Structure 1
């Protein structure tokens, strides 16, 4: 029989057990072991059956269970204390509040909005596909720990990304189990009368898209997830948010409209229904959420009577854009006609003409592909502050997008960098926390003292803890491998060999990530005989644990996985190399701690950051990686090994050379160092590198550091800029828009006509001063509307300047015909082959950088 209706009956907790509901609903449990211990103590067997998920555990409790627990005075006391601990965590002042108090007089903001298409918080809420989502989840968790007042905005995917399994031939297959939000740590946003709150978007042809809003509570941070499975939608739109990055045609565009436009409307609903403050800053985690800026422009044109250009200036001031994409092919791009159908005619956002919208996404930096709308370009044009996610990625991004700022050197493109970090509470194994607690106190890892004091921990205890975590990984691997082999058609009678897979005393290397081509899953298979020899060495064996998912539409990635699986199926090798399907947070939390080495071999510079190696490092692993992403800036020669990069050759030759370098490092450096033991059986040099890694990398790779960087470098400046343009009924936005219009109109006539220099001897020396006089035509602009600079730096053979310093020339005289003279001095502070020039830039106190408008007149 089949049910004709479904309903979800929730457990009603007695008053004595009521704290369990709040503890289960707040995702702080995902990084708070004492809360997990409390739920496990209810029934350890049932806890494992519920996959260690508190909401599922509560749903499984019978009336008899509740009666038993209610009568257990010790358990009731522990539950009450845990509930009180959660309330203290949610209310006590933390880093942000202490900073705000210390900066008395500086108006710290009450809310920042963080938009992302995916959030990786816990395996219980699978709303992520890879690094972008895991980063977003860690961002929210650290914001909670720091007290940074963020609210997250995303989509609720009822089928999540996908579950991966392998068939008999090793080919990836996908399944999409449907999630029931009533079984998850979510609550529905409701109106005062109890009905579900609904927001609506206009769609082509006069149609509409309605959405509900689910709230996940991530410690102190609310996360709003929009869900299109609403009865008032037609069937296709009900399924719009069914899958992460699923579907084709218009589905991706409409998902991003819901995330951006709907996300802003969800924030307005949230504020109206809960009294939460409206955000001061809007942060786009990649271009997927770029349409949020259009909705805010529309709001301002209606509520504040601003023109489009004025509203754009106001929105830009309070918007932050983070790009994660190191290649143009990774950017979402839509056809112009597609955008026109969704934003023109009856679907046009009030105050946002289609022509203006199309200008925001125009690919002028790529030679002007007029048929394409680029979401990252729109993000950069809507965000006054932008960043990449590592120092190298910032440089790559400046190179990718430099065409948006013609006339400026690549180094001046206004895209900075904040290197990603990882949330220690989520990714550091409990055994590491326990060891740090024993020798350095209960909060040593969270407050960072563990890293500066790691030498207080005896090395034999560090080594024994690493073995315990290796043993833990071995057990997890055998369990997962047994399930995978059964899925592939093997019988239990054929799987006795799995009991000998991996060894807790063997050097263990981990490799796990998504499987796009540039991450080179199979680089290690370039010389299979050489790899086999490394794995099977009788005296110094090596074992590899590998995992990763290919996008469902990526057959190339699936073939790479199949190639790897077929290699691991070899009976001679399968006890030393394993591929585990369905890589997710739960697997990762066992994999990182159990590895001695974390391997990463992308094609440089296509790894924007790559945080998996950070998580491994926090668990006492050494990195073996191409110098890309975060490793490029933080490898120091003692915290692991750098695989040399073979630049300037074709891809085939490059793979051959870099694979050979990988084997060399394994054979000559990694393996000997691990197995070189002292009289006590300890690998002294290995442990020196391990403790050095913890002491130096530990503080850097923390998401707390990352969120503090975002707050201080981007959020608070954006909040101040947003307030500045909004004062006195957006007087600043109106003035800036008028100035920008004047500058753009006049700029074709702005030029440096003549430059004179005095005070330079025939053989200039350090300490001399050059008096510079520049004569300019300003095309009707006043001297106050421009900044005139003398730029001074090292000069190449082609006269290109590097290591540039600038000083300002001041207006001295004005002449007829819009001509002006500017004077200043240039101090010679360096030796060598030097050069200088003069340039003219726009000036306005509300511009964030010299290059913001892309206008410059060079001599």
Structure 2
């Protein structure tokens, strides 16, 4: 990062007509067609820009294309069109493109995905449109929601992204799980756990977000070069050196950062009130806003309704008592922006501003408009607590808390996004969620707001204000130290990029290299043959050498399975025994799959016999089943085609071993 060219596309140039010049005139708004044109420019124009750049500079052409959300998704169509001009048919070109494409979904809510009417897409990709040699019906089939629960007339950019990519991921472990459930319809017959969407948790660029004061303290401890390396590579040994920093130094650092934030807030607040029409004589009270010795809570992000900006206002009297507590007060700095089209988000901001304008508390809670990077770079380091209270599991990742943690700010958050996988009581707090509150949003918000107040009153403020023998808050400083040493290496962009390279980019590059024109044609033909024959693929009989009454832990049972392959050959499929724990509904969970091997030749009915061992390697309820998947060396996953054959209910009931 930093050595790779960044190409920026702008349609506002003299050669374009007025309509074309307006394509890049805004980020949000403009309607569906405007958005579609933007995404055509980004995807199709982006590939052409990259190709032109490589030709002009001699830069090596990319092997792997990575699309974030569906915004650049049409790049797959441009690459298919390129390959078609080189002699490949659509299906073979699709396989070649998929091999070298990675897709990342960033939203856990369907409303966050771009979807267009099929007629609009058909018009812009028709015979006389941008890609004239591409059959419009094939393009539409890539993005249509042609699965149970989908809208059959909508073209979904995320669906197209998944169909155009052989590898896909969400942006946190929890978001990966949500995404597998969200898009399970694309892989019918598979449990959501096996949907081929993995996860790579987001990271943040430490050199941008670590305050200079924090960096200088680290450099003084371990040296400037090692401190710089720690911010980039995430070497935990370097972050562990935080343990050697004196408590007094950490506490003085935290106070100085808080004081810088107080000065920044006062300056911005004064400017904001002047824009609202206040005169200088009315603003003397701003000199008393915030206190560098008071526990400071930060909340700054976009303001969609699911992030619940105003949850803290649920019980205003209780919040006011926290703000004005005579011995353990808190102060809150809020900043954010609403989507231009999000009227609900705008109303939330207005509600918070009205509360923050109350003369009784305006020295303890402020809202800062025009939230941006310059403000954030002061806000993250200067806060003691970073608050995040979204509706779980609607936060895909949420990187603001990562930026705060890099500066020794402690997180107070619902277990959502990245916090769900990395939270430990040693360095932050988890806001309990009202998962059992049903669908009543009022009751849910009331329960979770009460839990938030309880944490602040009973645990957080006491940890901050209680002093040890040396006059310092020992428990708090220990949590700051653990935040830096344990979270620091994890939240880095360097860690994230390394995971993308190792788990997604490198396998995609190898797949791209293996997918020459001949291999692409062969794979496309094989898939067509397998799909045509799959209706006749069956599991006909399962028998085992061990019964439920004789099964014991450590026993290895022999499986013998008779299958019909419907004209396919053993090299076209993989027959598996799938085993694992059984839940209360007799469903296999935490499953492991073992491949069985064909024995001999098919019988007179064309049935094949497969055999293999299965070890009972765990205690408790245990079960197994048998299934058949397509098998090919160029598939990234056995679920890739969305095809699976399993025993009938009668056969499964007779053959599946259940040991309790």
The corresponding residue for 2:580 is 793
**TM-aligned CA deviation for residue 767 of structure 1:** 2.1
Choose which of 404, 407, 411 in structure 1 pairs with 2:193. Answer: 411
CA contact (8 A) 1:772 1:823 kept: yes
What is the 5 A alignment of 1:327-726? 327-347=109-129, 349-442=131-224, 443-444=226-227, 445-446=230-231, 447=233, 448=235, 449-649=237-437, 650-726=440-516
| CA offset digits 1:179-213 (Å, max 9, x no partner) | xxxxxxxxxxxxxxxxxxxxxxxxxxxxxxxxxxx
Q: Which one is further off, 540-549 or 362-371?
A: 362-371
Does the 8 Å contact 2:127/2:133 carry over to 1?
Answer: no
Query: Does the CA-based 8 Å contact 1:365-1:402 persist in structure 2?
Result: no
Cα deviation, 1:391-410, whole Å, max 9, x if unaligned, reads 00000000101111111111
Match of 2:651 in 1: none
Do the aligned partners of residues 795 and 351 (structure 1) sit closer, same or farther apart at CA in structure 2, a change above 3 Å counting?
farther
8 Å Cα contact 2:221/2:241 also seen in 1: no
- What is the rounded CA distance, in whole Å, between the counterparts of 1:346 and 1:223 in structure 2? 31
**How many residues matched?**
638
Q: Distance in 2 between matches of 1:823 and 1:776?
A: 11
Question: CA–CA distance in 2 between the matches of 1:514 and 1:845?
Answer: 44
- Structure 1 window deviating more from structure 2 (332-341 vs 811-820): it is 811-820
Q: Distance in 2 between matches of 1:455 and 1:786?
A: 55
Compare 674-683 and 346-355 and name the one that shifted more: 346-355
Q: Deviations over 1:84-107 (max 9, x none)?
A: xxxxxxxxxxxxxxxxxxxxxxxx
The alpha-carbon deviation at position 551 of structure 1 amounts to 0.9
5+ long unaligned stretches in structure 1: 1-143, 145-218
Stretch deviating more after TM superposition (280-289 or 825-834):
825-834
Contact 2:302 2:338 in 1 (8 A): yes
Q: 1:563 and 1:604 mapped to 2: Cα distance?
A: 23
| 1:808 counterpart residue number | 595
Shift of 1:518: 0.1
Cα distance in 1 for residues equivalent to 2:82 and 2:221: 55
**2:62 matched to which residue of 1?**
279
User: What CA deviation, in whole Å up to 9, does each residue of 1:322-372 have, x standing for no partner?
Assistant: 001101111100000000110012015254211111111111244342210
Distance in 2 (alpha carbons) for counterparts of 1:249 and 1:795? 47
Q: What is the rounded CA distance, in whole Å, between the counterparts of 2:148 and 2:465 in structure 1?
A: 52
How many angstroms apart in 2 are the aligned matches of 1:799 and 1:658? Answer: 34
Q: Distance in 1 between matches of 2:21 and 2:262?
A: 43
Residue 695 (structure 1) shift: 1.2
Q: CA deviation at 1:475?
A: 0.9
Equivalent residue in structure 1 for 2:556, among 761, 766, 769: 769
Question: Matches of 2:320 and 2:178 in 1, distance apart?
Answer: 36
| Structure 2 CA distance for partners of 1:366 and 1:648, relative to 1, 3 Å | farther
Q: Secondary structure at the match of 1:347?
A: coil
Which of 17, 24, 27 does residue 234 from structure 1 map onto? 17
Alignment of 1:242-253 (within 5 A): 242-253=25-36
TM-score (norm 2): 0.95
Q: Distance in 2 between matches of 1:818 and 1:689?
A: 67
Partner of 2:654: none
Q: How far is 1:772 from its partner?
A: 1.0
Root-mean-square deviation (CA, aligned residues, Å) is 1.2
Question: Following TM superposition, by how much is the alpha carbon of 1:265 offset from its aligned partner in structure 2, in angstroms?
Answer: 0.4
Whole-Å separation in 2 of the counterparts to 1:691 and 1:533: 30
Maintained 8 Å contact 1:348/1:354: no
The structure-2 alpha-carbon separation of the partners of 1:797 and 1:677, relative to structure 1 and needing over 3 Å to count, comes to closer
Measure the CA separation in 1 of the matches of 2:504 and 2:464. Answer: 42
Contact 1:310–1:734, Cα closer than 8 Å, also in 2: yes
Displacement of 1:678 after TM fit?
2.2
1:527 Cα deviation after fit: 0.6
Deviation at 1:476, TM superposition (A): 0.7
Following superposition, the deviation at residue 817 of structure 1 comes to 4.3
In structure 1, the residue corresponding to 2:254 is in which secondary structure? helix
- Report 1 or 2 for greater relative contact order, CA contacts < 8 Å, sequence distance ≥ 6: 2
- TM-score, normalization by structure 1: 0.73
Higher mean alpha-carbon deviation, 782-791 vs 340-349, is at: 340-349
Would you say the 8 A contact 1:308–1:351 is kept in 2? no
State the secondary structure of the residue aligned to 1:250. helix
Cα offsets for 1:786-824 (capped at 9, x unmatched)? 000011111234321111111111111312443211111
Gaps of 5+ in 2: 648-660
Task: Measure, in 2, the Cα distance between the counterparts of 1:478 and 1:348.
Answer: 53
- Cα 1:531–1:749 shift into 2, 3 Å: same
Q: Matched residues in 1 for 2:40 and 2:158: separation?
A: 14
Q: Separation in 2 of the partners of 1:798 and 1:686?
A: 45
